[in-house]
Chains A and B, each alone.
Chain A
């Protein structure tokens, strides 16, 4: 059953990516503008612009450009970025690990804080912990991430000077030898503790800001799920039988309340990736978000398509993972 689910979803993924590539290609080409002119700059002669257009196949009819793109994509070639003039796959290798590292730390923070907060909030309903949790979750949902990022930077860097303004490490400092591209892991492998400390210090603020919105959603989901479960008859029965509150909550309620939260967690990973776009701009974080924003501004079709496809891929794979987790969390579910 599990294998069938995975195969079915992966087949579905092919169609999703195909549809998405068509949509992104169409939308990015609707914007009037000439990427060759943007690459060459406003002072470039027409012959230079023409040369660039020829070099990147921009003179071909649109359907032909799309067919070429998809054919190359099928062979694992994502094309060349107009912005960096490197193969897009090389750019992704360079920038994606930074975003994955940021997103992963944010996800861990959101989960480790959000789930306990949701549980405490539901168990202590209408008491101080609940008020705090609700404040956290409402503010997390209400505050735009870019505003939060600018404010956090203003307070913790600009006023207090406790944390760096951004970037993964100070420019000029040597990055760890690339193994995963994630500085925390790579510096641990390299046993470079100074670099690890610096990387963590640089990660705290962007990861916290990025995590805040997801933390809010997770807290609310857990709280809602828990409140529903805690009113169920079997919980009341368990309590009546004298089972300790700890066992009732963690042994019976939490597991059953987690199903909707797991769905939300899967989506949060995708949202964290896309939310990273704004956070990366404010914190000068050299990840895929900033790469994508520059790509969009410069009509860098190949880079725009690639980043869109990567995010879509992550969303679909996360949903698949969630579906698989369901099978373990609730044996009654079948696909």
Chain B
């Protein structure tokens, strides 16, 4: 079709003499040409948009170093209203805390039970594990240039205890009073815990709480109404970590820049800036990564996107078994007997959930994840067996045609799919499953609320947990003990097992690892085969997607969705 033809068509169109046949013919040609147009779009020049982030502090303007990796762009789904590590319990605030602050120790690489220095260069543990003495690096300064010494650590941890924020139990389980912290000298801090506490180091390496905040910054921002300067620490941060918080906006993101005075120095290749950008839409996050305009994303993409990215040479998908386990809560009083709960466990579509819904990002487990202390490699895992399931549900007191209620978050497509697959199995057994898709706030208030079990659904899907530190008690106690029925606890199934209560009481203050292992084997058997309070989907495989040129990332099963920013860099092309 040449120009003359077009001109004639336009002339006819403008004069109103375009016939119906001509309109149809032209429309058909346009339709047939659409693949060509699409190809032209595909072949059109790309990337005229300027590269993102002209940083407020130009990295080139910062003092020169051997190598620089520029800025690392991390995409997140939303910001956080509170980054105070002594108050907040969110994954993002932990991620930021691990970059801006330091604790005494941290977990070593991918290990869940080995530690390496942070502020403490060494530590000694008394024979009975009741006294821990930390020797701090000398002359370390906070980002406000005040000393990060033993007194500063004690002051900061006193704030952690007295502020009584969300992660306070991480310390008060072992050290409930500042009096138990003794400043021996400027670089020596001793914890006199009063009883053997084999988990104290693990707790001190948690990503929830043990960050040391500059006491001077806290004092400067404290007010009469807010003596711990929580209002300030929600948005701002002064630690001794490798990066300084430059800006923080809940709707836009956070910018961190390297702290020149960081005590480990900046030799070698490191990032100058870490930029967290809020991108709420799934498809946008995927496009940013695929176009190379973002460098990293942790566990915030769809499973389809992750599957596609595995084959993308411009990206690397780092997958690792996390300490998190997912399950559906079973309402014990409404499900009458252990047989019914066993039956429902047999009815669950494990293979479809593992392979189709999670697309392999799940490995079968009981309530404790592999890698967490006390994990039983021989834990009983239910197969899907609908005949056995039916038999048990009927033996447990239900009759054919009875309907179970299954509550899920209406905004969680994955959980809704799981509910539908489960519904199909339940129907095949001759029962019914009514899916109650509600707002997440309703799910959470049902779980934590004080309503009696009779008013809650038979099953609540999409729940799960991971421990604050490497400890099975910390994983099981909040979810399955009598003390956590109502009153803000998450034993929403009101499940009580006297023997399990005894095990938990002993495990809380255990002194001997072997005894703990024995207890946990028994506990996991009760929680699965004998008297299940939940249907365990399995242990979640977390993933972090990085640009192919990002190196040095080491995931840790207990530091979910976090990054070891200081150890990461961009490979020079």
Is chain B found bound to chain A in the same assembly?
yes
Residues A83 and B250 in contact in the complex (CB < 8 Å), given A32-B445, A43-B468, A46-B488 = yes
Q: Is the CB of B280 within 8 A of A165?
A: no
Residues A282 and B439 in contact in the complex (CB < 8 Å), given A37-B448, A171-B252, A171-B277 = no
What residue in chain A is nearest B468 (Cβ atoms)?
Answer: A43
A33 interface residue per 8 A CB criterion: yes
> Contacts of A174 on B, CB cut-off 8 Å?
56
> Contacts of B489 on A, CB cut-off 8 Å?
46
> Contacts of B490 on A, CB cut-off 8 Å?
42
Give B40-72 interface residues, CB cut-off 8 Å to A: 41-42, 44-50, 52-56, 71
Q: A127-B16, A160-B45 are in contact. List 17 more A-B contacts (CB 8 A).
A: A34-B448, A42-B89, A43-B167, A46-B489, A48-B166, A85-B81, A127-B14, A150-B283, A157-B49, A161-B49, A162-B46, A163-B49, A165-B279, A165-B284, A166-B284, A170-B54, A174-B56
A310 interface residue per 8 A CB criterion: no
What residue in chain B is nearest A127 (Cβ atoms)?
Answer: B16
Q: Is the CB of A153 within 8 A of B283?
A: yes
Give A161-195 interface residues, CB cut-off 8 Å to B: 161-167, 170-174
A245 interface residue per 8 A CB criterion: no
Q: Is the CB of A48 within 8 A of B53?
A: no
- Most chain-B CB neighbours within 10 Å: which of A32, A34, A165? A165
Residues A154 and B283 in contact in the complex (CB < 8 Å), given A128-B13, A170-B53, A172-B56 = yes
> Contacts of B45 on A, CB cut-off 8 Å?
160
A158 interface residue per 8 A CB criterion: yes
Give A111-168 interface residues, CB cut-off 8 Å to B: 124, 126-129, 131, 150, 153-155, 157-167
Q: Is the CB of B441 within 8 A of A286?
A: no
> Contacts of B396 on A, CB cut-off 8 Å?
none
Q: Is the CB of B88 within 8 A of A124?
A: no
Q: Is the CB of B251 within 8 A of A290?
A: yes
Q: Is the CB of A128 within 8 A of B49?
A: no
B293 interface residue per 8 A CB criterion: yes
Give B157-171 interface residues, CB cut-off 8 Å to A: 164-169
Q: Is the CB of A32 within 8 A of B13?
A: no
> Contacts of A294 on B, CB cut-off 8 Å?
78, 251
> Contacts of B47 on A, CB cut-off 8 Å?
161
Please, how many residues of chain A have a CB less than 8 angstroms from a CB on the other chain? 62
CA distance A314 to B78 in the complex (A): 28
> Contacts of A38 on B, CB cut-off 8 Å?
441, 444
Q: Which of A127, A172, A298 contacts B275, CB < 8 Å? A: A172
B196 interface residue per 8 A CB criterion: no
> Contacts of B55 on A, CB cut-off 8 Å?
172-173
CA distance A157 to B41 in the complex (A): 12
> Contacts of A95 on B, CB cut-off 8 Å?
251
CA distance A92 to B255 in the complex (A): 23
Q: Is the CB of B444 within 8 A of A284?
A: no
What residue in chain A is nearest B73 (Cβ atoms)?
Answer: A171
Q: Is the CB of B255 within 8 A of A172?
A: yes
> Contacts of B249 on A, CB cut-off 8 Å?
286
B176 interface residue per 8 A CB criterion: no
A232 interface residue per 8 A CB criterion: no
CA distance A261 to B440 in the complex (A): 42
Q: Is the CB of A33 within 8 A of B441?
A: yes
Q: Which of A33, A46, A166, A284 contacts B445, CB < 8 Å? A: A33
- What's the least CB distance linking A86 to chain B, in Å? 9
What residue in chain A is nearest B253 (Cβ atoms)?
Answer: A171
- What's the least CB distance linking A38 to chain B, in Å? 6
Q: Is the CB of B56 within 8 A of A31?
A: no
Indicate with 1 or 0, residue by residue over B1-39, a CB within 8 angstroms of chain A CB atoms.
000000000100111101000010000000000000000
- What's the least CB distance linking B109 to chain A, in Å? 25
CA distance A154 to B291 in the complex (A): 11
- Most chain-A CB neighbours within 10 Å: which of B48, B49, B438, B439? B49
Q: Is the CB of B166 within 8 A of A158?
A: no
B442 interface residue per 8 A CB criterion: yes
28 A-B residue pairs with CB within 8 Å: A33-B444, A37-B444, A37-B445, A37-B488, A38-B441, A41-B89, A42-B89, A43-B478, A44-B166, A45-B166, A48-B166, A83-B250, A155-B41, A157-B49, A158-B287, A158-B290, A160-B45, A161-B48, A161-B291, A163-B49, A164-B49, A170-B52, A171-B253, A172-B54, A173-B55, A201-B50, A290-B280, A297-B440
- What's the least CB distance linking A88 to chain B, in Å? 13
Q: Is the CB of A281 within 8 A of B18?
A: no
B273 interface residue per 8 A CB criterion: yes
> Contacts of B446 on A, CB cut-off 8 Å?
32
A40 interface residue per 8 A CB criterion: yes
- What's the least CB distance linking A292 to chain B, in Å? 11
> Contacts of A198 on B, CB cut-off 8 Å?
50
Q: Is the CB of B441 within 8 A of A165?
A: no
Give B468-510 interface residues, CB cut-off 8 Å to A: 468, 478, 487-490
- What's the least CB distance linking A127 to chain B, in Å? 5
- What's the least CB distance linking A295 to chain B, in Å? 11
- What's the least CB distance linking A175 to chain B, in Å? 10
Q: Is the CB of B53 within 8 A of A51?
A: no
CA distance A300 to B46 in the complex (A): 42
Q: Is the CB of B46 within 8 A of A43?
A: no
CA distance A165 to B47 in the complex (A): 11
- What's the least CB distance linking B442 to chain A, in Å? 5
CA distance A279 to B446 in the complex (A): 32
- What's the least CB distance linking B35 to chain A, in Å? 14
CA distance A126 to B19 in the complex (A): 11
> Contacts of B16 on A, CB cut-off 8 Å?
124, 126-127
A49 interface residue per 8 A CB criterion: yes
B104 interface residue per 8 A CB criterion: no
Indicate with 1 or 0, residue by residue over A21-53, a CB within 8 angstroms of chain B CB atoms.
000000000011111011111111111110100
